[in-house]
Chains A and B, each alone.
Chain A
Amino acid sequence: MGTRYLIIGNGVAGITAAQEIRAHDPAGQITIIGDEGKPYYYRASLSEWIAEDSTTEQTYARTTGFYEAMRIENVTGRVDRIDAERKQVSLESGDQTPYDKLLIATGASPNAVPIAGLEDPMAYRTWDDARKIKEHVDPQTNVLILGGGVLGLELAGALVEIGTRNIAIVQLLDFLGPPLLDEHAGRWLERRIRADGLTLFLGDTVERVEGQVAHLKSGKTRDFDLFVQSVGVRPRYPEVPGLETGRAVRIDEHGATNLPDIYAAGDCTETCVRSQGRWQPTRIWLDCARQGRVAGCSMAGVDASLTEYPFLNASILYDIHYAYIGDPNAEGGVAHILENDRAYRKVRLVDGNLAGAMLMGDRRGMMPMYRAIGLPVAEYGDVIARSDFPWNDLTGKDWEYLFF
């Protein structure tokens, strides 16, 4: 009988780990436990589904035949307890599943701010959340979104696309899009969103709700039919006696926890940034996948470690394509900025070397720019913020990738 691999979490980290395990151990038994009753799907494409750009099928990251083709057993259930000594996981249904190697890839849950008078606030993270929101909206619906961060703006963008314009966003900070956007980029996006007729309450929050009316801290009021909270997420993971945690499950560079044969990956983890001596929570899809790869290799007995990559996050904010590369908001250095109605591009140099970039509206050059982090570029001056700057020439002999 092959090694029994048990993975808790049917998301990007869990599936990516399973893929690696299967690549390295054809005989292993792989079981994935998910609690949503859905195959592995893209969270970011839920907004496309709400906007009716994607079908349900298209939000799934793999086909229905994938689990069978990979010989992965997919179980729907909720984990009640992990017994690290007996190497056994108990489900809420009462089922017991033994394992040889365990991966905790349980992700994160949306934060909920307690608001007087608001019962059962709606969140926006899972398939169920998206379905509920979709059931409640039509073009006339009066929507209030608490939180002007990435997810709140993504939802607003999707609703606008299906004709819902009566949308208000309440944001505690006085600009949109943190932590990705700085104030300047936030203002750029703000103009765009206001032009679509949305109402923004910046530097404000909801204090209490009476019936279908939200009372804001500023004294203003806003009616709503649908109230969605989108105020960040927090890691979630099962309680395991002896498991080392900070704000999340702590893992080493091989994806291992402090307990034998228990690994973790994805949004439920934090990793040590040795150069800065601090623990950093895992925040983005790409990092979750990379951790899944490393954990999967380690579980299958293949040597692999997490590397400190420059940060990369590229997606759609509201309806704007953006890329956040490296550290565009690094302290010190020089920022070259190009701004017009279509695009906002900020490229930061520290000590004459490329430190990072924030690109909105026009992300041309983003991948070669990502590879150029750390290269000396001071001699080029302002033109490096332009979208036609030849980054490819700069990374000329770097052949690791084919990008051009």
Chain B
Amino acid sequence: MKWDGSEFEASLKHIADFGLDNCIGANDCMRACPVNRLNVNQNELDSVMVSGVWTERVQTFVTECVQCGDCTLACPAGVHRDHMMLMLKAMLPSIPRSWKLYYNVKGRQDQQLLISLSNIVGRLKVGPLGKHVDKANLEHKSLLFYFGCYIFSPSKAPAATLQLADRLGLDYEVLAGVRSCCGWPQYLTGKMGYGQQMLTHLETLINKVAPKVIVTGCAECYAGLVRLRKKTGASWTPLTTPEWLLQHADKLSWRRFDTPIAIHDSCHITKKLGKPDPARQLLARIADVVEIAESPEDCVCCGYYNIHANRDLNHQLHEEKLALVAEKGAEGMACECVTCWESFAEPFKEAGVPLWELMVAAELATRGGA
């Protein structure tokens, strides 16, 4: 199967051509963009895409694009401006140093030694979960938890998820570590070929487990799984962690928190894949759910995938989010995606506002047995 960066880029080109042809110039995409601090117009992006002649403004903007998809939701003509931005990321004439460092390891099949080293260092960091990192002997199991590279995150969600599975008496396998990355970090930094290599390798690893269901708590990993299944026609079903836990929710006894909690929507799951409900349904079992946006699709992005390009810009998004949480009277916020949680963790801690990972909250709320 030919499945490299060139195929991905050809697919992006197809979408970009459609976008160029069908754009009606409303500029709604750029008005909707949460990180367009330079007030870049859509015509500047299209001119660069067609001519290949870059301007400094466009280069900065393309670097800072967080891939939240607000542009695409706003478009009256059905243009996927987010994918057009991915294409521009792939075309960037030069990239920030922080990005280069980012994929010195990730996505590099030719850097096996470095990957192994980073997995070893990571394993030491994560304590008991370390046994799941870069596992040599993956077993056949119908349930697979896919934690990818986020197993190394300070997130407590992977541990909580496994505790819940144990509480439910389920049998499962775990796939985790840099080697099983989903490829999205590479796409988002413009390295389509590296991203495709990762996803191809992920398929090999999944096939060793031959699962029926794959559960992940990261929105990008979930999007990666959806792509992989679309491409290969695999028979397994990808589930987000709330989707999975809801299937077993009645087997657990739930204790409710006495504070109302706001819900944060991840861009990939709500805006791009259209699944706003599972996270809400799960949170509703634990606490009163507070909506902080007019609709789930209007949720302010966490900004994570502005990977180190402009931290001040992300800071603005975080301030906006904290203000919304306070304004709506929530005493904390819950995230289903580990990336969002990571992005918000520091500013929420500084502001003294509780930030829950849904799986951690669910584990706490169901202590007391199945």
| Partner-B contacts on A (CB < 8 A) | 12, 16, 19, 41-42, 44-45, 48, 53-54, 57-63, 65-66, 69-70, 285-286, 289-290, 293, 312, 314-316, 321, 323, 363-364, 366-367, 370, 388, 390, 392, 396-404
Given A57-B41, A69-B53, A392-B274, A402 and B25 touching (CB < 8 A)?
no
A48:B78 contact, CB within 8 angstroms = no
A contact residues around B88 at 8 Å (CB): none
A293:B21 contact, CB within 8 angstroms = yes
B contact residues around A363 at 8 Å (CB): 78
Q: How many whole Å from B17's CB to the nearest CB in chain A?
A: 7
Asked if B248 is an interface residue, CB under 8 A from chain A, the answer is: no
B76:A316 contact, CB within 8 angstroms = yes
What are some 17 contacts across the A-B interface (CB < 8 A)? A44-B24, A48-B25, A61-B43, A66-B47, A66-B50, A69-B53, A285-B24, A286-B22, A312-B22, A315-B77, A321-B76, A363-B78, A388-B274, A397-B231, A402-B227, A403-B15, A404-B223
B272:A323 contact, CB within 8 angstroms = no
The residue from A60, A293, A314 contacting B76, defined by CB atoms under 8 A apart: A314
Question: Majority SS of interface residues in chain A?
Answer: mixed
A58:B274 contact, CB within 8 angstroms = no
Closest to B42 in A: A58
Q: How many whole Å from B228's CB to the nearest CB in chain A?
A: 11
Q: A41-B25, A63-B47 are in contact. List 13 more A-B contacts (CB 8 A).
A: A16-B21, A19-B20, A48-B27, A58-B25, A61-B46, A63-B43, A70-B50, A388-B274, A396-B229, A396-B233, A399-B11, A402-B12, A403-B15
Q: Give the docked Cα–Cα distance between A366 and B17 (Å).
A: 18
Given A58-B25, A62-B46, A69 and B51 touching (CB < 8 A)?
yes
Q: Give the docked Cα–Cα distance between A363 and B274 (Å).
A: 13
The residue from A58, A316, A366 contacting B27, defined by CB atoms under 8 A apart: A58
The residue from B12, B25, B272, B274 contacting A45, defined by CB atoms under 8 A apart: B25
Q: Give the docked Cα–Cα distance between A70 and B25 (Å).
A: 20
Q: Give the docked Cα–Cα distance between A390 and B230 (Å).
A: 14
B77:A402 contact, CB within 8 angstroms = no
The residue from B24, B78, B231 contacting A366, defined by CB atoms under 8 A apart: B78
Q: Give the docked Cα–Cα distance between A243 and B42 (Å).
A: 38
A contact residues around B83 at 8 Å (CB): 402
Asked if B26 is an interface residue, CB under 8 A from chain A, the answer is: yes
Query: Which of chain B's residues 185-233 have a Cβ closer than 8 Å to chain A?
Result: 223, 226-227, 229-231, 233
A19:B50 contact, CB within 8 angstroms = yes
B contact residues around A62 at 8 Å (CB): 43, 46-47, 50
Asked if B44 is an interface residue, CB under 8 A from chain A, the answer is: yes
B contact residues around A54 at 8 Å (CB): 25-27
Asked if B338 is an interface residue, CB under 8 A from chain A, the answer is: no
A contact residues around B272 at 8 Å (CB): 404
B contact residues around A402 at 8 Å (CB): 11-12, 15, 80, 83, 227
Asked if B120 is an interface residue, CB under 8 A from chain A, the answer is: no
B26:A48 contact, CB within 8 angstroms = yes
Closest to B74 in A: A321
Q: How many whole Å from A200's CB to the nearest CB in chain B?
A: 24
Q: How many whole Å from A42's CB to the nearest CB in chain B?
A: 3
B contact residues around A42 at 8 Å (CB): 23-26
